[in-house]
Amino acid sequence: MGWVAGAPSKRLRRWRRLNQSQSSADACRITRVSRHHCLGVLLLQVASITIGGALPNSDSSPAPSVVIAPNGTVQVTRVVPVPSTISAAAQDKLGKIKVAPQSHQTVQERRSEMDKSQAKQGQESLELYPAKLATDIIAGVPVRVVTPPEITPVKASRVLINLHGGGFRWDAGSLSESIPIANLTGSKVIAVLYRFTPENRFPAAVDDAVAVYKEVLKTHKPADIGIYGTSAGGYLTAQVAAELRKLNLPLPAALGIFAGGGDMSQSGDSEAIFDLEGFAEPIDPAELTKLDLEYIGSTDPKDPVLSPLYSDLRSFPPTLFVTSTRDPELSSTAILHRAFLRAGVEAQLVVFEALPHAFWHDPKLPESKEADQLMATFFDRHLAKTN
């Protein structure tokens, strides 16, 4: 099993290659050094200028080199060891990542693959975090309803809304993102199975999430509601909050934006360094400027709902941002976090060491357990304490 499929990259390139083994991040040109090196030492070449063919695998470490173009573009060769600052399980996981080949799957084939993967991850999550699963239709939108084995009276009025990852194209998280949080918070989680692109472009997914939220508002106070998502779902969480503000609807008590950002108009620095697995595939610098028009459609890429970085963020609810140092969305997450701070929003950013994009979809990792508990504690702190 890889890490997780479905980063919400703005770049169509990523969608075409996304999820070879269910995981990832982004880089300008990355080649793995010999598999015989300790736990997968990596050779990294980063550039947004012309780069020669990828260097072949070799048992000898390359000589470090740096070339800086007059415009600041950097071409660099590095050896990146697996750090001892992460758990032994995470070190072992990094060493098992393989270079990802070009994927030629259709969207439907990938969706089928991801459904099977999500079912497996869901079962692994249930083994660690028991919960009850059900399906439902809310405001005409299909949802999963995940409830903990027991809900105490003090938490009976709470509900969390999950907007899963999957590149806006498939379900890479409705179970793995919801089961641990439902169990750890002792609260019901509604995972919105929103409409996918390319069949449905922006704002279809936003509209589905808003419809579910409006229906939940009929029976719950805003102070009892939290919205969160990973990867594409992180972007979607920010988009939904911006749309709620636009509609003059009450905002939820808290947001969770995990491995996601708020700008669909351009790449962040980390997208030129990491792929979804960290260092698993070459990256063509020319692809970094291509927008995901299958999702964006004809909308202005800087539309304040599509790209909430350009929205009025003042008085947004307390928000937790989580990412990792080998995540292509590291920059996007950090940039949106800073924008929240500038707007006076209570916003916390937690960055995990050395792990790829949305690593918490592997529930067994010690770092995943820590991340899930961190998320749960945040919602426990910010949702209403009593009925």
Instruction: Name the residue ranges covered by the structural domains of the chain.
Output: 107-272+287-382
Euclidean distance between CA atoms 295 and 277, whole angstroms: 23
Instruction: Note whether 123 and 150 are within 8 A (CB).
Output: no
Over 50: is that where the pLDDT of 31 sits? no
Euclidean distance between CA atoms 261 and 277, whole angstroms: 18
Please say whether the dihedral angle defined by the alpha carbons of residues 231, 234, 240 and 245, taken in this order, is positive or negative: negative
* pLDDT score recorded for residue 60: 57
Write out pLDDT tens, residues 62-111: 788 999 999 998 888 888 999 999 999 999 999 999 887 777 889 999 99
* Reported confidence tier of residue 127, pLDDT bands at 50, 70, 90: very high
Euclidean distance between CA atoms 119 and 98, whole angstroms: 23
Closest CA to 25 of 270, 195, 237, 217: 270
Over 90: is that where the pLDDT of 7 sits? no
Over 60: is that where the pLDDT of 375 sits? yes
Query: What mean pLDDT is reported for the chain?
Result: 86
Lowest mean pLDDT, pick from 15-19, 36-40, 288-292, 372-376: 36-40
Top-ranked range on mean pLDDT: pick from 41-45, 56-60, 327-331? 327-331
Mean pLDDT of the region 327-351: 98
* Reported confidence tier of residue 55, pLDDT bands at 50, 70, 90: very low
Instruction: Note whether 191 and 131 are within 8 A (CB).
Output: no
Write out pLDDT tens, residues 265-299: 999 999 999 999 998 888 888 888 899 999 999 99
Euclidean distance between CA atoms 154 and 236, whole angstroms: 29
* Reported confidence tier of residue 366, pLDDT bands at 50, 70, 90: very high
Secondary structure of 120-134 in HEC code, one letter for each residue: HHHHHHHHHCCCEEE
pTM value is 0.87
* pLDDT score recorded for residue 115: 97
* pLDDT score recorded for residue 61: 64
* pLDDT score recorded for residue 385: 66
* pLDDT score recorded for residue 19: 38
What CATH number was assigned to the domain covering residues 107-272+287-382? 3.40.50.1820
Over 80: is that where the pLDDT of 4 sits? no
Euclidean distance between CA atoms 237 and 260, whole angstroms: 9
DSSP assignment of 168-202 equals TTS-SSTTTTTHHHHHHHTSEEEEE-PPPTTTS-T
User: Dihedral (C-alpha) 386, 133, 142, 185: value to the nearest 10 degrees?
Assistant: 30
Over 80: is that where the pLDDT of 386 sits? no
